[in-house]
Structure 1
Amino acid sequence: MTLEQVSKSSVLIAGAGIGGLAMALSLLRRGIDCDVFEQASELREVGAGLWISMNGVRVLRDLGLTEQVEQNCIAAERRSIRLWNTGDRWPLYNRSSDAARNQPYLLLRAHLLKILVDGVRELKPGAIHLSAHVVGFSQDDEGVRAKLADGSEVEGRALIGADGAHSKVRLGLIGKIESEYTKAIAWRGLVPVDRLAPHQREPEVATWIGPTAHVTAYPVRWQNTVMMTFSGQVDHDDWLLESWSEKGSVEECLKDFEGWHPDIIELVKNVDTLNKWGLFVRPSLGTWSKGCVTLLGDACHSMLPYLGQGVNMALEDAFVLARCFEENPYDLAAVFKTYQGLRLDRTTKVAKSAAGMLPIFHNQALCKPETAGDYIKTQWAPDAMAARYDWIYQYDAATAPLH
């Protein structure tokens, strides 16, 4: 489908990331027409692991994607906290324990994107428009006109900005929102497991914690290869770009993990490609919507990765917003008011909780093994874990009351 063929009754979605595609699939499954506009010329994702917790798993189930997702997952046998320098292990749960009911899906972002793209195209083959960057919009009582980078415009009845932390839709809706550097950076990469020693290949989700950094590592499947993800966050005074795809060097990364356990050093040395980015926060928005335009995912509540909830909040947003459209398809003001009322407080609380994890992951009590043990047993005790995660994981976007 060409841009000229986009129906004026279509819901326009800016951004073909996970949030935008989940939004499109949620609408199309309800018989609501939509089109997705993506600035990239091809849907190609840089390699990164993805942690879909139970609240996100429920959305994927209700989108009919469970089977495809599970085919691409590796089920972790256990989850552990490990000490940065000694490698000592504190098991949190294994697959057979009660706590494993909250076991996440572990897969590659590229896999989930492909599954969502296929789902959208199956219902509407021409729904995704590439090389179509939404850079602004205008609206009136008749609807909205999305302005694209090439100067063209597309008319629709609503516009959803799922265009990420640097959202152009948010800029047009609210104006410039300054971000604040948190004095931490993130590293990420993938390591083919055949480069690692046998004990490093185990199907475990391990979070290594230290005084000024932490690393999460778990296995994912890429085609016929098992890869170990490397995701490290490090205290860093230097300001860096707020970019997910900034290339980093192995030498630079090794400096950030000097003195760490040999297993972490080996992960870094064997990584295929390393990306780094600065971690930024934005203040919570007071409103997400104006007229027939609203926001979704990182565009309205970008959050730090310390609870693994960025993608899960986007999935929740998409599903709840689609339910609001289905309930009241002809009154956009009511749709967006209900959606914001249901989502703003929850996402603000999750973002605040994610930011609050940094001093827990990076703590001076972890300098020495003799103080680290008591600290870890306290912070990762079952009741502390339940208080931290259960209210997030127990949410169900499909059954949460709309009123």
Structure 2
Amino acid sequence: MRIAVIGGGIGGLCLAHGLRKAGVDVAVYERELSRTDRLQGYRVHINPDGAAALRECLPAAGWERFERSAGSGGNGFGFLDQRLRPLLVLDPEEEKHYSASRITLRQVLLEGLDVQFGRRFERYEPGDDIKLHFEDGGVESCDLLVGADGIRSRVRQQYLPHAGTEKIGVTAIAGKLFLDDHDWVPRHLVDRAHTVVPTTRAGMFLAAHDGLGVTDETDLLFDNVRPYLMWAYAAADLTVHDGQGLKAEVLRRITKWSPDLRRIVEASPDETISEWKLRSSKPIGRWQPTNVTVLGDAIHAMTPMRGIGANIALKDARLLARCIAEGGDAIARYEKEMHDYGFAAVRDSLQAARRFADGGPVARTIFKTVLRAAQAVPPLKRAMF
């Protein structure tokens, strides 16, 4: 079987490794011109599901390199009010979590794969022998086509034209503060990730990422070896106009919050601050399986509020590689399971985003009361979380 994967992101590359392990002929087509073109500065949280997928699909040397380059990413979780007073603290899980540089993770995943760069996919001709058309005029063929080409997937647009994403009415502004330059940051904000629950219709997320091992020159170029505190402020009524400073807007909105939170935002370098207009995949029913399929953001893009998008894409990759290796009605089995857990994750992430960035004072007061009650009664906390 000849399999073509459109897109050289985390999910597509993990799938290619899994297929190679199973002895399957796989080709990866990536629109970027080289292996260092897609350089993103924020790190990604790899949970136990994502780590299990990487461990299963990567060759042993690739998994070892990933573990060597990744920092720790699972030290528990906490809820705070806007004055940084604790509402609820959750203990770390027993299973290991990782904090991975997106840049380094991509280099790990590219190792050993013959990816065709500079191949911008245009469309396909369906059939037993699928014809792939690229913007450079080239034509390739395959028996099975996998769209792993992200939130604006051209494969999905042709295969499932009724699917896609939509704005959810929530905007976030995010930045990062390098911790090796600022030792005044409160220790508890570095020890675990936190969600700040204010009385206003907004929220803030904070997560520290420790220093990573140097694995290539891009790590040094993009500060991937420095520990930092990532923060994100989100609100349903947040509208940033052209020319308006992102940092100034956040500072204006958190004037009455903790002085430490204001100082964190104020001291964050301007070049690290960006705006995100959050989108989420439209819910769709199951479709009839063919010899075309999709994975990751190409089918179930979700908000970043639960930090699981990359991990669900890795889960897709492991499941699809397994199904293909087992043979039979592989795509039907894959799509049935992927549809269920993928769109469940989309719903959970969307609900979390709306709770995080919206909700009136009464709802927020009730939520805080529930969190404090759970903290005071350990059996209740275990049952809830």
SS state at 2:94 partner: helix
8 Å CA contact 2:123–2:133 kept in 1: the answer is yes
- Tell me the alpha carbon deviations over residues 224-253 of structure 1, each in whole angstroms, 9 at most, x when there is no partner: 733324241412346789xxxxx9743344
The residue correspondences of 1:9-28 to structure 2 (distance < 5 A) are 9-28=1-20
Q: Is there any run of 5+ residues in structure 1 with no aligned partner, and where? A: 1-8, 242-246, 390-403
Give the direction of change, closer, same or farther, for the CA distance of 1:289–1:372 in structure 2 (3 Å limit): closer
- Tell me the alpha carbon deviations over residues 48-67 of structure 1, each in whole angstroms, 9 at most, x when there is no partner: 12111121121122234543
Deviation at 1:304, TM superposition (A): 1.6
Q: Quick one: distance in 2 between partners of 1:68 and 1:206?
A: 29
Deviation at 1:114, TM superposition (A): 1.7
Asked if residue 149 in structure 1 is aligned to residue 135 in structure 2, the reply is yes
Hey, what does 2:161 align to over in structure 1?
A: 175
SS state at 2:257 partner: coil
CA RMSD for the aligned pairs? Answer: 3.1
Hey, what does 1:41 align to over in structure 2?
A: 33
- Tell me the alpha carbon deviations over residues 299-331 of structure 1, each in whole angstroms, 9 at most, x when there is no partner: 111112222111111011100100111011xx5
8 Å CA contact 1:41–1:130 kept in 2: the answer is yes
8 Å CA contact 1:184–1:233 kept in 2: the answer is no
The one of 50, 66, 75 equivalent to 1:56 is: 50
Partner amino acid, structure 1, of 2:80 = L
How many pairs were matched up? 360
Give the direction of change, closer, same or farther, for the CA distance of 1:181–1:255 in structure 2 (3 Å limit): farther
Give the direction of change, closer, same or farther, for the CA distance of 1:173–1:359 in structure 2 (3 Å limit): closer
Q: Which moved more, 1:220-229 or 1:169-178?
A: 220-229
Q: Quick one: distance in 1 between partners of 2:73 and 2:89?
A: 12
Partner amino acid, structure 2, of 1:138 = E
Q: Which moved more, 1:167-176 or 1:177-186?
A: 177-186
Q: Quick one: distance in 1 between partners of 2:374 and 2:277?
A: 26
Hey, what does 1:395 align to over in structure 2?
A: none
Give the direction of change, closer, same or farther, for the CA distance of 1:371–1:303 in structure 2 (3 Å limit): closer
Partner amino acid, structure 2, of 1:130 = F
Asked if residue 206 in structure 1 is aligned to residue 194 in structure 2, the reply is yes
Q: Quick one: distance in 1 between partners of 2:17 and 2:229?
A: 28
Q: Quick one: distance in 1 between partners of 2:255 and 2:186?
A: 19
8 Å CA contact 1:196–1:267 kept in 2: the answer is no
Hey, what does 2:330 align to over in structure 1?
A: 335
Partner amino acid, structure 2, of 1:322 = A
Q: Quick one: distance in 2 between partners of 1:52 and 1:218?
A: 14
SS state at 2:71 partner: coil
Q: Quick one: distance in 2 between partners of 1:360 and 1:379?
A: 18
Give the direction of change, closer, same or farther, for the CA distance of 1:359–1:155 in structure 2 (3 Å limit): closer
Q: Which moved more, 1:180-189 or 1:257-266?
A: 257-266
Q: Quick one: distance in 2 between partners of 1:149 and 1:266?
A: 48
Give the direction of change, closer, same or farther, for the CA distance of 1:77–1:287 in structure 2 (3 Å limit): closer
Q: Is there any run of 5+ residues in structure 2 with no aligned partner, and where? A: 215-219
Hey, what does 2:101 align to over in structure 1?
A: 108
8 Å CA contact 1:80–1:93 kept in 2: the answer is yes
TM-score by structure 1 length?
0.78
Asked if residue 32 in structure 1 is aligned to residue 24 in structure 2, the reply is yes
Give the direction of change, closer, same or farther, for the CA distance of 1:257–1:144 in structure 2 (3 Å limit): farther
The one of 344, 348, 351 equivalent to 1:349 is: 344
The one of 165, 169, 174 equivalent to 2:151 is: 165
Hey, what does 2:217 align to over in structure 1?
A: none
Give the direction of change, closer, same or farther, for the CA distance of 1:365–1:197 in structure 2 (3 Å limit): farther
Percent of aligned pairs with the same amino acid: 23
8 Å CA contact 1:184–1:278 kept in 2: the answer is yes
The one of 160, 167, 174 equivalent to 1:188 is: 174
Deviation at 1:69, TM superposition (A): 2.7
Deviation at 1:179, TM superposition (A): 3.2
8 Å CA contact 2:151–2:165 kept in 1: the answer is no
8 Å CA contact 2:46–2:73 kept in 1: the answer is no
Hey, what does 1:236 align to over in structure 2?
A: 236
SS state at 1:164 partner: coil
- Tell me the alpha carbon deviations over residues 106-134 of structure 1, each in whole angstroms, 9 at most, x when there is no partner: 2222222121112xx2xx4xx21111111
Partner amino acid, structure 1, of 2:194 = A
8 Å CA contact 2:146–2:292 kept in 1: the answer is yes
Give the direction of change, closer, same or farther, for the CA distance of 1:305–1:138 in structure 2 (3 Å limit): same
- Tell me the alpha carbon deviations over residues 155-214 of structure 1, each in whole angstroms, 9 at most, x when there is no partner: 122110001111100011122545332111233333321232344464432332334122
8 Å CA contact 1:183–1:239 kept in 2: the answer is no
Give the direction of change, closer, same or farther, for the CA distance of 1:58–1:277 in structure 2 (3 Å limit): same
Asked if residue 86 in structure 1 is aligned to residue 80 in structure 2, the reply is no
